[in-house]
Structure 1
Amino acid sequence: MTIKQAREKLKDIFQAILKSDDRNVHVLKVATGLGKTELCTELRNVLLALPNHSLKDEVCKRMKVEYRPTPSLNSLPADVRKRLEYLYSIGANFEANRYLAEKAKVDNSCQEYLKDCHVCYLSNETIITTHQRALFIDWLHETIIFDEDVVTSLLPTGKVTISDLIRLEANLNNEHDQRTISHLINEIRQGRVNTPRKMESIIFKDFQSIEYEVLSSNVKYNSNILHFFESDFFVVDANDVATIHYIRKYELPESKKIIILSATANEEIYRNLVGDRLRFYDISNVEPVGIIEQNTKYSCSKSSLAKHIDYILEQVKDMPVITFAEYKDLFSNPIEDMHYGKTTGFDILKGKDIAVVGTPHVSPITIALYASILKISIRSHDYVQQGYYPIRQQQVISNGFRFWFNAYDNEELRNLQFYFIESELKQAVGRPRVNTEPVSVKLYSNYPLPEACINDEEIQIGRQKLERNKASLAISNKSDSYFEKLLFEDLNLEILHNDELGNMKLNVFLYSALFAGTGTMMTMMQIIKGASKN
């Protein structure tokens, strides 16, 4: 569908959802550039959640109705901020408020922060906050809108080190709690590596002392031990047995209407998370104004990119580049503060030609943790001796493509793998707003995106269409409102999408006349009108 059609469809669905009287989870998979965030800027009496504070602040500048942003923890002293981040992350809101109340007695910044928080928590007006805080506060709003995919906020991962656990055990005074941590350390060391294990419920006698030790003592802990104690599954890395990776699942509020707007939403994952509450809408298949040219010659994984970097550098030259964080220094024009894992929501590249380099695979440990929490059925032969799920070069099918890829044998694991890769690629190629802007994006990856031009014929057609769109945009920009109406409404010329030779000539005719001057343009229009009557 065209951008105009997609925007109208999005608006109609969005308005219908807002009017509905339900407590469902409405997930809208929306192509980039359709204006999903803009739809939210006029809403009253909703909670609007963004992935992080920088995006929250950006949306605040665009709001068209009265709103109130939740205060940032950055206004607080470092030690207070550290403790609150932990308390919010585990949903200990009562403890967080109690702690802030104590600090507010002696610290003015804490007093102001607490006051601003209470105003937001007790308000029905539009509040703008982060994904994390939206999940951990009992809000008064009936409708919560998450701008961008919320899966990673619902299923956060982390890691902790054995050395931190040993250090904590040594510094505790409560013997029962020391034995509890000692037993956990032994279980971790004796278990199978690379294999997800369920975290059993841990009961401490004096958890407050543990919190104090980790958050307030002079001993430095380098990992999030407290969050680990609240996790659902963990995995010991065979390549680094001193590191434990973990995952925890949070729930979306059941008493609220939830709306999720995302270009990367995966229906199966959300159905797994929310079950029958899910209502899924796909508005992602749009005809782009720009072009994505994909080069699949090399896989462009991290190891492949290291081998073929000279070829890639010759291809991209001085184009702005989005790639892996650790590879940015290899390029002459890497995009500052943007790389795989950090591309969501940025709008600074709108209308610019860019290159996107790399296939962003996720680690087998991440796949293992997500598979466990999502209850993906794993058979015994899905494991290899080291505990990893087997991955090999094979022919696979995805998005209507059949291609060779280093993928999992288990189809559900493979779909999970492709979800992570495709999400990162779509976010990266979407930064110039290729769906709405006549831009060119060069993508170097062997994972084919459905919206990309890959073979020579597709690329040739895509480039021709891009040039027509650029010419049409030039006409639109150079015309005043009268000529725009004449061109696009009165004559009903579909310059952007009509490929017939006659209208292509007509487009060039009008384009040339436009630059010849107003008088010539008027003459040309009269000729066309006269011809149309005959």
Structure 2
Amino acid sequence: MEMQLFALDFDGGAAFGEIQNQAARYHLPIAFAYSTFSSTRKLAKFRVVFLNDVPVTDKHAAEIMIRMLLRIFNQADQSCADVSRMFFGGKGLIGHAGREAINIVGLMESFQRYIFETQPKNYKREVEQFAKVNQIACLNGCLQIHCVHRDGKVEDFSVNDQYIYGSVTVFPSNIPKYFLITHYQADVCEKLEKTSLSYGEIRKDFKVIEQKCHLYHDFIKEPHIHHNERFHLLTNLIYILGGCKRFQSIIAKKGYDVQEWRFYAKYVKDRRYKPQSCEGHCPYSDTCDHVVNIVNTVKQKGDIRKICKDETYYQVDEVYSFIENHLQDALAAPRKGICLIPAQTAVGKTEAYCKLISREIGRRFLIAVPTNQLKREVGKRLGEKGVEAEITLSLDEMNLEGRLKARIQFYYQIGLGEKVINLLRDYIKENRDTEEPEIMNTVNQCNMYLRGSDALAESRVLVTTHARLLTLSSDIIKQYTVIVDEDILSTIFKNIRTVSRQTVQKVFDSGECPVVLQERLGQVIGTPDKGYGKFDKSFSVGYLSDQELEELEVYDNVNEIAAASAFQMDGDMVHYFTPRTLKEGKYIILSATSDSGLYRRYFPGRFIKEYPYHKAEYRGRLKQLTAYTMSRQCIQDNRDRLEAFLGLLQSRYQMITFMKYEAELGNTNLHFGNAEGVDWLKGEDVIVMGTPHLSEFVYKLIGYHLGIEVQTDVLAVRRIQYKDYEFNFMTYKNEALKNLQIFFIGKELEQCVGRARLLRNDCTVLVLSNFPCEQAELIQDDYLETAEDGGLMKACSPGMAGKL
């Protein structure tokens, strides 16, 4: 026997509209209602039917539910309490609300609220009497009917399965069960409801709660939030001193039902609710920087724990000797492949490979560095050691005539960068006889650039950039031992492009597409929003010319989709990743942030050797304030307090932060993404402010290319371990995807910290981020918390100032 539809018979003259309003008031959705055969115009008779979320297989549970419904709807025929009663059809539907269902726990809450509102003086006695008659355990005036999940502990307490039934319709991946506890299991109630927190235990400024909790901010500022979101807030705010009173005050101001929420406040306390988790209850749970629930979020102070023993550090000169030995060993190895030599920023890796090159006069070297500035600096240092090096010329460094410069930019913009060489040659032919100074200068520079391209295979020592290295042919690479300064995977992973869906559709419909591009654009168009796709490898790549794209009025880089490996649909935009590779050869990569696991994933089948990482202890000081995430949103939410805090420090510190805040809060014209290779901050005190998260599609698109499962994973605050630390961080569940995200963030922070050259200089770097940096002294105080007297920030008090 089982029962899922619960019907009430109304034949005493009650109006259907009255019953509808009552059902809505107590959050009991009516599945449908119909007029009975005996209904007349003068005396309306009807039945109201409620759909339970699961079939009820236990007679006792079904009887309890019927009795609760009859108590709430006392206008119904009270004799219809027998669960075996049959109800016949009628004349026709008078109401139909779909498949929204009730359940035994929600019904119990509505039942107790009804008693609270109709018999406030006898509330507890009435509930206890109902519990006694129906053989339900009662604790603190609350019926002990609980909803637990498959992984809950209720099953461990139950002596039998008599009152347990499972749902296969509501949450098929996480089946809930409803558990009625009898009088004989009252000890179970206490064990089940026990919590380590006390109501009103946490003391917090409500302005801080508003800044840290987006939902509480909406509760205050927005005219309306959903009932379930209010209930979620209530279960958390009762644990904060003055929280319940503040909640009721806002309820009254917003015009919500005050009596209803007085009941819920009492019910939550009596039932000893724990603070509801943000996940599953808050619409911001996937994007907000939170920890489990609101209470833990507002009371946390960094919560970073060191889990490893102190690391062994060497003297800087010893570490430098290790790097020299590793370089010599990698050079002597006969096998082609990639040698990864970990080397801290400022340990002297540039000096080490410049010395190696000056000694090995019989070998040819190609050096690749991240930026043009560093390229020129390395060329200068080689010259000082008597090494004549060819420095490749970059188009960005050339002072070109405006029309040619614009045309070059357009070629790169539309994915025709490979045709720039031909563009330069055509320009020289067209303007070789000109007498205009600006054009003559441009022609000379074009000739210099082309001569430099021709000389790539002739120089003993060649210095170029990461980006240029990735374009060189196998014929050139095989003539050199390639030394890569800093992690080239960072450069490769930046090769993500975005094009509008409208452009993709326009080009696809144009009839001008080469075959491969046409097929790929069709695959993109057929992919649902938020979906990912991979392209088959193709050895036949075709592009639309600049004239064809201009005729179509297309100015996005749709061409490179023909060479892409993976893409994602994102609303009106398409993101795609075009992989670059290192041609077969011998590569020595020196970097503080290279990840051998990522190299093996990206270069499958390639020989990769990783050398041990020997580290030196910083001579300078690295201090890290971890109480705030310092994401872009966090900075924006705490803008005023942050400006006051920074105002006391910026006269001493140089600043590196997000590009968005560089002009307003910074003072160096440096930001995440452009600080690599910068040397002029050597020995300076530096603030690095921010946790440099990238757009989520960057992690997932590259992860998808690497064969990582990305489509079902979501960002959430998780407890993770990274190097020497354990901490809470907004990241992914999938280990490989999490490591990819951490690679980007850790690399950027370490590079920015390295600008001060802490290994060899007595200076201070202050990091404001919740992502722990190596060798940092962690300061987990709330440095933006307002002092009770309204004075200076606590973080700027003499005690904190001494730490900084």
Q: Settle same-fold status: TM greater than 0.5.
A: yes
C-alpha distance in 2 between matches for 1:185 and 1:233: 12
2:545 is aligned with 1:210: yes
Does the 8 Å CA contact 1:263/1:284 hold for their aligned counterparts? no
State how 1:456-467 maps to structure 2 within 5 Å. Answer: none
Of 416-425 and 114-123, more deviation after overlay is shown by: 114-123
Q: How far has the Cα of 1:39 moved from its partner?
A: 2.6
Match of 2:657 among 320, 323, 327: 323
Give CA-to-partner distance per residue, 1:65-123, whole Å, 9 cap, x none. Answer: 10111122243522553377579x8895xx55555444432343475135423442231
Number of equivalent positions? 435
Does the 8 Å CA contact 1:211/1:226 hold for their aligned counterparts? no
2:529 is aligned with 1:193: yes
State how 1:90-169 maps to structure 2 within 5 Å. Answer: 92=418, 97-98=421-422, 100-107=424-431, 108-109=443-444, 112-113=447-448, 115-138=450-473, 139=476, 141-155=479-493, 156-168=495-507
Structure 2 match to 1:416: 740
Does the 8 Å CA contact 1:27/1:278 hold for their aligned counterparts? yes
SS in 2 for 1:105: helix
State how 1:234-245 maps to structure 2 within 5 Å. Answer: 234-237=567-570, 241-245=571-575
C-alpha distance in 2 between matches for 1:435 and 1:219: 55
What is the identity, as a one-letter code, of the residue corresponding to 2:746? E
SS in 2 for 1:236: strand
What is the identity, as a one-letter code, of the residue corresponding to 1:131? H
**Radius of gyration: which is bigger?**
2
SS in 2 for 1:62: helix
Q: How far has the Cα of 1:136 moved from its partner?
A: 1.6
Structure 1 match to 2:556: 223
2:382 is aligned with 1:63: yes
Match of 2:707 among 375, 393, 411: 375
C-alpha distance in 2 between matches for 1:28 and 1:405: 29
Q: How far has the Cα of 1:225 moved from its partner?
A: 1.7
What is the identity, as a one-letter code, of the residue corresponding to 1:358? G
C-alpha distance in 1 between matches for 2:738 and 2:770: 15
What is the identity, as a one-letter code, of the residue corresponding to 1:3? V
Give CA-to-partner distance per residue, 1:378-411, whole Å, 9 cap, x none. Answer: 2xxx644xxxx21211211111211111121111
C-alpha distance in 1 between matches for 2:706 and 2:456: 31
C-alpha distance in 2 between matches for 1:444 and 1:34: 24
SS in 2 for 1:33: coil
C-alpha distance in 2 between matches for 1:125 and 1:374: 36
Structure 2 match to 1:81: 408
Match of 1:47 among 361, 366, 378: 366
C-alpha distance in 1 between matches for 2:733 and 2:620: 36
Unaligned runs of 5+ in 2: 1-313, 432-442, 782-801
C-alpha distance in 2 between matches for 1:179 and 1:283: 48
SS in 1 for 2:755: coil
Q: How far has the Cα of 1:179 moved from its partner?
A: 9.3
Structure 2 match to 1:356: 688
Shift in CA distance, 397/115, structure 1 to aligned 2, threshold 3 Å: closer
Shift in CA distance, 292/12, structure 1 to aligned 2, threshold 3 Å: same
Q: How far has the Cα of 1:28 moved from its partner?
A: 1.4
Give CA-to-partner distance per residue, 1:483-519, whole Å, 9 cap, x none. Answer: xxxxxxxxxxxxxxxxxxxxxxxxxxxxxxxxxxxxx
What is the identity, as a one-letter code, of the residue corresponding to 1:285? K
Structure 1 match to 2:210: none
C-alpha distance in 2 between matches for 1:305 and 1:392: 19
Q: How far has the Cα of 1:137 moved from its partner?
A: 1.4
Structure 1 match to 2:347: 34
Q: How far has the Cα of 1:285 moved from its partner?
A: 2.5
Give CA-to-partner distance per residue, 1:233-273, whole Å, 9 cap, x none. Answer: 00112xxx12111112222121x210111121111101212
C-alpha distance in 1 between matches for 2:754 and 2:553: 41
SS in 2 for 1:450: coil
Structure 1 match to 2:578: 248
SS in 2 for 1:409: coil
Shift in CA distance, 248/115, structure 1 to aligned 2, threshold 3 Å: closer
Of 244-253 and 113-122, more deviation after overlay is shown by: 113-122
Structure 2 match to 1:273: 602
Does the 8 Å CA contact 2:354/2:382 hold for their aligned counterparts? yes
Shift in CA distance, 263/218, structure 1 to aligned 2, threshold 3 Å: farther
Does the 8 Å CA contact 2:344/2:592 hold for their aligned counterparts? yes
Shift in CA distance, 320/79, structure 1 to aligned 2, threshold 3 Å: closer
Give CA-to-partner distance per residue, 1:277-299, whole Å, 9 cap, x none. Answer: 11112435321101110111111
Give CA-to-partner distance per residue, 1:332-360, whole Å, 9 cap, x none. Answer: x4211x10111111101000001111111
What is the identity, as a one-letter code, of the residue corresponding to 2:583? P
SS in 1 for 2:572: strand
Shift in CA distance, 235/284, structure 1 to aligned 2, threshold 3 Å: farther
Of 420-429 and 397-406, more deviation after overlay is shown by: 397-406
C-alpha distance in 1 between matches for 2:554 and 2:682: 41
Q: How far has the Cα of 1:434 moved from its partner?
A: 1.1
C-alpha distance in 2 between matches for 1:301 and 1:111: 44
Match of 2:643 among 313, 317, 320: 313
State how 1:436-455 maps to structure 2 within 5 Å. Answer: 436-455=760-779
Match of 1:12 among 300, 304, 325: 325
Structure 1 match to 2:566: 233
Q: How far has the Cα of 1:441 moved from its partner?
A: 0.7
Unaligned runs of 5+ in 1: 458-466, 468-534
Shift in CA distance, 68/209, structure 1 to aligned 2, threshold 3 Å: same
Structure 1 match to 2:632: 302
Structure 2 match to 1:259: 588
Compare relative contact order (CA 8 Å, sep 6+) and give the higher one, 1 or 2.
Answer: 1
C-alpha distance in 2 between matches for 1:115 and 1:20: 34
SS in 2 for 1:446: coil
C-alpha distance in 2 between matches for 1:8 and 1:201: 44
Structure 1 match to 2:267: none
Shift in CA distance, 180/119, structure 1 to aligned 2, threshold 3 Å: closer
SS in 1 for 2:730: strand
Shift in CA distance, 400/299, structure 1 to aligned 2, threshold 3 Å: same
What is the identity, as a one-letter code, of the residue corresponding to 2:340? V
C-alpha RMSD over aligned residues: 3.1
Greater per-residue helix proportion: 1
Give CA-to-partner distance per residue, 1:456-479, whole Å, 9 cap, x none. Answer: 89xxxxxxxxx9xxxxxxxxxxxx
Does the 8 Å CA contact 1:49/1:134 hold for their aligned counterparts? yes
Structure 2 match to 1:502: none
2:340 is aligned with 1:24: no
What is the identity, as a one-letter code, of the residue corresponding to 1:327? Y
C-alpha distance in 2 between matches for 1:120 and 1:182: 38
Shift in CA distance, 413/286, structure 1 to aligned 2, threshold 3 Å: same
Does the 8 Å CA contact 1:47/1:141 hold for their aligned counterparts? no
State the TM-score, normalized to the length of structure 1: 0.74
Does the 8 Å CA contact 1:295/1:442 hold for their aligned counterparts? yes
Residue identity (%): 25
What is the identity, as a one-letter code, of the residue corresponding to 1:345? G
C-alpha distance in 2 between matches for 1:186 and 1:24: 37
What is the identity, as a one-letter code, of the residue corresponding to 1:149? D
